[in-house]
Amino acid sequence: MEGVTDSGLATLPASDRPDVAARLRTALLGASFTADGLLELLGAPAYAALARSETVPALRATRGDTPLETLVRLFLLQQPVPHARVAAMLPVDDLLESGWLTRAGGDEVAATVDVRPYGGPDGEDWFIVSDLGCAVGGAGGIGQRHEGVVLGVGGASTTLAGITVRTPVSAALDLGTGSGIQALHAAQHATRVTATDLNPRALHITALTLALSGAPAADLREGSLFEPVKEEETYDLIVSNPPFVISPGARLTYRDGGMSGDDLCRSLVQQAGDRLAEGGFAQFLANWQHVAGEDWQDRVRSWVPRGCDAWIVQREVQDVNQYAELWLRDSGDHRGDTAEYQARYDAWLDEFEARKVKGVGFGWITVRKTAAAVPSVTVEEWPHPIEQPLGETIRAHFDRLDYLREHDDADLLEGHFRLAVEVVQEQVGLPGAEDPEHVVLRQHRGMRRATKVDTVGAGFAGVCDGSLSAGRILDAIAQLMGEDPVLLRDRTPAQIRLLVEQGFLEPAG
């Protein structure tokens, strides 16, 4: 069959024709085939339906023959389109010759890959290439079972992009690049980007994503995780949305790591320390096992490499039944033979039972190479709403760690602080009561934390504008409350440390 490889996947466009990719990009932008253009054309309900892999509303919204409607049908909905209509807006002969398009029937053409418009963090118009039916919002959605299939944009990839620290760096490494989303982001603030993947098809598609998005080419290396990286190479930023799924066997390259349990995520985090330059960040999405008789926090804390600070956040926990069902549905097994589905489900539960696994946690892991004598490791559970992007929040967290390490209690009292932006104070109590039962400080950005403070803490935070030292503020509070200023100075630094650590207060200057 024309345009299909032996694996059953479509033949990919040539990755060595940047001229064709550049002309295609120009044509796509000229037709407003962008994230904003799609939303305007389809409307919010049909656009949201695409994210659920429901295409009927989008098909209904693209019944006309405008350039944008034609491109949506061609590249997102995988519908054959008349050759003449495409030739009026795209360099169709070059696209056929280089493999972006293939002939379908007598006078129609079809796309060989999904192309999804993707808005960059600063308004960039990018395009993510993936296998047919594998763009979130594409025609097929999840349910692809080819071993080497390459997916497009999903919730995990956008989560990782949002939490990544975005400071200018010399060298960035994207492990398990997939369709190149993280490499594309990194190319905006890294002088040099290296991307690895065990799947050569993924490297090919990453090259297409970068070229079609107008981004610099990356150093693409085939191999598993750190294997293609030389021992002497270090990076200022390492990111990975790895194949973290804890599954029996390794059926699907994009999600199943093939190691026992959560060993892949553990080894990935542990090996990152030797690959980081001083002050560099490594950021991962990961799954970890909740094992009977074991504290999950101790488990993931043991993964942190020596010489590194870490911040590990568990966002969700699923019991083993929920977890198995999630990933069996991801691969479309629930739509196949019932007996085969039940057998696979049983195999997952056998694996978990053998390892005494009761649940699986999902979250983020950030490690930073540090020269500190005693690194700091924070492990917490935070299932509550957050506000992305969090990259700056995460960078600031580690900056505050450095500040607190370098300042003892006496230094804190000499220090000047400001209340962080968009922190509000709430007083909680019965209506009509003279005094509140307690006072809460609440963040409306970033992690959106809330913390209860006593009267001193509330008064202290309320006047922190950077003009007075902490000690002078406490002396004034002591005078107002009739307390001993020496005792107040002795007991308050611990509360100040907590408020700084959690981002409610920021060192001024």
Instruction: Give the pLDDT confidence score for residue 140 in this predicted structure.
Output: 45
Nearest by Cα to 262 from 151, 121, 363: 363
Side chain identity, residue 402: D
pLDDT in tens, the chain (509 residues): 345 554 578 899 999 999 999 999 999 999 999 999 999 999 999 998 888 878 999 999 999 999 999 999 999 999 999 999 999 999 999 999 999 999 998 899 999 999 999 999 999 999 999 999 887 654 444 445 577 889 999 889 999 999 999 999 999 999 999 999 999 999 999 999 999 999 999 999 999 999 999 999 999 999 998 999 999 999 999 999 998 989 887 677 778 777 788 999 999 999 999 999 999 999 999 999 999 999 999 999 999 999 999 999 999 999 999 999 999 987 778 788 899 999 999 999 999 999 999 999 999 999 999 999 999 999 999 999 999 999 999 999 999 999 999 999 999 999 999 999 999 999 887 776 666 778 999 999 999 999 999 999 999 999 999 999 999 999 999 999 999 999 999 999 999 999 999 999 999 97
Strand stretches in 20-166, DSSP E: 81-82, 101-103, 108-111, 114-119, 125-130
Query: How far is Cα 74 from Cα 78, in angstroms, rounded to an integer?
Result: 5
Amino acid identity at 365:
I
Question: What SS3 state is found at 436?
Answer: coil
Q: How many CA atoms lie within 13 A of 421 on its CB side?
A: 4
User: Long-range contacts made by residues 380-383, C-beta under 8 angstroms, separation at least 24?
Assistant: 380/312, 380/313, 380/314, 381/313, 381/314, 382/313, 382/314, 382/315, 382/447, 383/314, 383/315, 383/316
Tell me, what's the pLDDT at 249?
Answer: 75
pLDDT (0 to 100) of residue 100: 98
The number of beta carbons lying within 10 Å of the beta carbon of residue 494 is 11
Please, are residues 89 and 28 in contact by the beta-carbon 8 Å criterion? Answer: no
CB 229 within 8 A of CB 275: yes
The CA distance from 509 to 500, in Å, is 14
Structure confidence at residue 158 (pLDDT): 95
| Residue 432 phi, psi dihedral angles, 5° rounding | 85, -5
Region of 384 (left: φ > 0; alpha: ψ -120 to 50; beta: rest) is beta
Instruction: Quote the pLDDT of residue 432.
Output: 67
